[in-house]
Each structure stands twice: as C-alpha cells, then as structure tokens.
Amino acid sequence: MEFVDQAVAARAAAIELAALTRATKDAALGHMADALAAAEPQLLEANAVDVEAARAAGTDESIVDRLALNPARIAGMVQGLRDLAALPDPVGDVVRGWRLDNGARVTQVRVPLGVVGIIYEARPNVTADAAGICLKSGNAALLRGSSSALNTNRVTIAALRRGLETAGIAPDAIHLVEGGREITGDMMRARGLVDVLIPRGGAGLIRAVVEGSTVPVIETGTGNCHIFVDASADLDKAIAILLNAKVQRPSVCNAAETLLVHRDIAPEFLPRALAALAEAGVTVHGDDATRSYSDAVVAATETEYDEEYLSLDLAARVVDSLDEALDHIRRHTTGHSETIITRDAGSADQFVAGIDAAAVLVNASSRFVDGGEFGFGAEIGISTQKLHARGPMGLPEMTSTKYVIEGDGQVRA
C-alpha cells in the first residue's frame, strides 16, 4: 500500500480506536502477544535474512547485535505487550472539570492523539513496543523502521495485525511504512494526516525529522548528560554515581557524557575517580587541569564537550565554581538529565533552579531518568523538548485532551 493510503486508512481506524474500552484494548494486546509468540519461527527466519544482509554489507557488529533476535528477545517483545494490558488506560481520564457561572459543565478529558508516526532505527523490539503503546493509548500507528530490519518488521507487523483481527479491531490501526528515503519525507510533510511524529534513534535522525517536518514532532533522546562534582561532594558517592552513570550502560541517552569537577575538590577527587574510570575501561578526554592528575587522560577539544559519545568515553573539565559549572552546562546541554553531587543544600538548590533540562538530579545516577525506573510501565522515549511532554513519556503523554461543555441552552451575554 502507498504511504498516503496507509495514512488515510490509519485515520479511519483511529476514529474506531478512540472509542474502544480498556477491556477491548487489553484483550487485543493479549491477541497481539499470542500472534507474535506463534510467529517465532518465521520471525527468526526473517531476522536471519536481515542479519546476514547487514553482515554482508559490513555493518558494525554493535548494530548487528541490536538487529538480531533470538527466542529470549522475542519473549521479551511478547511480554512487553502483555505488560501493557496491566497499565491503566489514559483515554477517558478526566483531567479537571468545573461549572461555569451560567450552570454549564466543563470537563477536560484525555483523548488519543490520533495517528502517530514513529521513525526509528534497526531495533526490531521497537516495532512491537511502539505498536502496543499506540494501541493502548488509542492511537493508530505508522511505523517506519530501518530498511535493514525490513524482513523482521514485516513478519512482526503481520503478526500484530492478525492479533488485532482476532480481537475484532481494524488491522489498519497498525502499518509498516515501507519504501525509499523519500517516504520518510512524505511522512514528515503529512500534516493533517499524521498528528505527531516521534523519531527514535541517533542525533542525526532526530535532527533531520525535527527540522524537516511540518507535522508536529516530539523530540526524544539526545543526552549530553553532565555530572558536576561540587566542592562539598561525598567522594564515595560521587565515584559510585559517576561509574554507574557512565559505565552501567554507556549506549543509552541517560548515560553520563561529561564530568565537571570543582577545583577545590579536584586534588582529592580526580586521582581516585580517574583510576576507577580507567579500571572500568573508560577513556577520559580532559582539559589541562584534568590531565595534570593522570597521564591516561587524553586532550579534549572544545567540540568534544558537545559530544554524545554513547561509548566508554567521557569528557572532563575542572571548573572554578558552581556558577562556572552552570555556565558550561548551559552552553553544552541537550536538555536531558544533569546531575550535581553535593552535601551542600544551597548548592543543590542553586543547581536545581539554574538548570533547564528534562531532569535535574541531586546525588543520584542519571540512569534513573527512564520510564521503567519512574514506574510508568511503558515508555515511547524520553522527550528533550519543552512542549507537550518533557522527560520519560508514558501512556498519558501519548494523549491529548478535549473540553466537553454541556449546557441547557446557555448563550453568551
């Protein structure tokens, strides 16, 4: 099917989806999970074709690893769909309500966004995740995955659509958008057909979608996350948080990318911290002051402070004060998650007030900035923009609202 026909079909399905009860949607998620589990043999077969093609094209093994499925990963996708059924339905939630002086009742109620387009890279689990989250929040989904996962995605989407049919829901609620690069452009300009686009992937993909779309976009995920170790920091906690934020899973957006150290604590903190980082396999890219504490620190260029490494690399700099740390972060932040380690309540307050980001952390690892850790149960991404949703996006963030005004003939004077 052509993209525009898919979008039109999705709009029609969205009208039906908006009216579904929670019970119907939860049953559908169960059928989608069953159908996906039953498709395991075909899924593994299709995925093997994709993986082989990726390897033949010389794709980096870390990307091949993201692309590859196995029975455990498929079981995870299936369980993700089942878990969604346990979450409350955001649609129909009354946000607030009041009575006008003339007696008319006003109610603000959650409604689906409508048709959601998701543009993502070669992670096959996103296909099932995003489809499930969209269904539970009453949205039709146009899923534009990487061409390198095309065979895997086709089998996944076919299974999910069979699940919808078993549940008596129009399968046009979920589409795989196929075709060349120009199709991504069509999605980005499908204002009126697509209600929102959510890019999930690297900074380049996100920038292209944000700058090229006339459809409203929710920007997710780029995280140049800083840790500032204040003069009063507890050194043990600082090192534990630094290692956790950098090393526990370096490839994700809430991992630390830059370390800022107050000059007064640097002589005590940096030798220990740099040794611990080296032991964990982290390459530190530092300024001259940082380099004076260890020969293992390589020289950082100024542009490096803007880098989201997503690897076992860390930029580092010694600053003269909290104000200088705030200034550095303001110039380099991507607005994701920024951390201060301090024992001083005043410093903590000043940092929290002075940072403009989705999340500000005091004495805790930025790895907690995550829908799962927040208890949202499902996450479509972490918004780094200020409009609509900021931070981890759960099911309520996949909705809009409408005002319902019920009167008895009221007119305005």
| 18 interacts with its own copies by CB under 8 A | yes
Its sign, for the CA torsion 19, 21, 26, 32, is negative
Which residue, 91 or 155, is less far from its own copies as judged by CB?
91
Four-point Cα dihedral 225, 311, 202, 331, nearest 10: 30
Q: Does 268 bind its own copies (CB under 8 A)?
A: no
Which C-beta is closer to its own copies: that of 137 or that of 151?
137
Asked if 310 interacts with its own copies (CB under 8 A), we say no
Q: Answer yes or no: are the C-beta atoms of 120 and 126 closer than 8 Å.
A: yes
195 binds its own copies (CB under 8 A): yes
- What distances in angstroms separate CA 406 from CA 100, 102, 104, 106, 334, one per listed residue? 10, 11, 6, 7, 44
- Rg over CA atoms, the chain: 24
Token pair of 360, please? 């500000």
206 lies in the binding site for its own copies (CB under 8 A): no
Query: For residues 184 and 114, what is the distance between their CA atoms, to the nearest angstrom?
Result: 19
* 274 is an interface residue for its own copies by CB under 8 A: no
CA–CA gap between residue 306 and residue 322 (Å, rounded): 19
**Amino acid at site 233:** A
Question: What is the rounded distance in angstroms from the CA atom of residue 345 to the CA atom of residue 352?
Answer: 11
Instruction: Enumerate residues 236-265 that contact its own copies by CB under 8 A.
Output: 236-237, 240-241, 243-245, 248
Q: Based on CB atoms, which residue is closest to its own copies, 298 or 405?
A: 405
Does residue 196 interact with its own copies by CB under 8 A?
yes
Give the other-Cβ count within 10 Å of 408's Cβ.
8
Tell the smallest beta-carbon distance from residue 158 to its own copies (Å). Answer: 29
User: Which burial class, exposed, middle or buried, applies to 325 when counting CB atoms under 10 A from its CB (0-12, 13-18, 19+)?
Assistant: buried
Work out how close the CB of 324 gets to its own copies at its nearest, in angstroms, rounded to a whole number. Answer: 15
Reduce the DSSP state of residue 36 to 3 states and report it: helix
d(CA 140, CA 15): 9
If one asks whether residue 204 binds its own copies (CB under 8 A), the answer comes out as no
Cα–Cα distance for residue pair 138/89, rounded to 1 Å: 9
Residue 346 binds its own copies (CB under 8 A): no
In angstroms, give the least distance from the CB of 300 to its own copies.
23
> Binding its own copies by CB under 8 A: which of 49, 271, 330, 346?
330
Query: Rounded to whole angstroms, how far apart are CA atoms 240 and 370?
Result: 19
When asked if residue 157 is in the footprint of its own copies (CB under 8 A), the reply is no
Q: In this chain, which of 8, 48, 278, 362 binds its own copies, going by CB under 8 A?
A: 362
Strand ranges, E, within 12-90: none
Residue 411 in the binding site for its own copies (CB under 8 A):
yes
**Does residue 357 bind its own copies (CB under 8 A)?**
yes
Report the nearest approach of its own copies to the CB of residue 156 (Å): 27
Nearer to its own copies, 181 or 331 (CB): 331
Nearer Cβ to its own copies (181/412):
412
Q: Closer CB to its own copies, residue 64 or residue 362?
A: 362
**Residue 19 engages its own copies in binding (rule: CB under 8 A):** yes
Residue 42 has which token pair? Answer: 């075909």
Q: Write out the residues near its own copies by the rule CB under 8 A.
A: 15, 18-19, 98, 100, 104, 106, 108, 111, 113-114, 191, 195-196, 210-211, 214, 216-218, 234, 236-237, 240-241, 243-245, 248, 330, 348, 352-365, 367-369, 373-375, 385-388, 390-391, 400-412
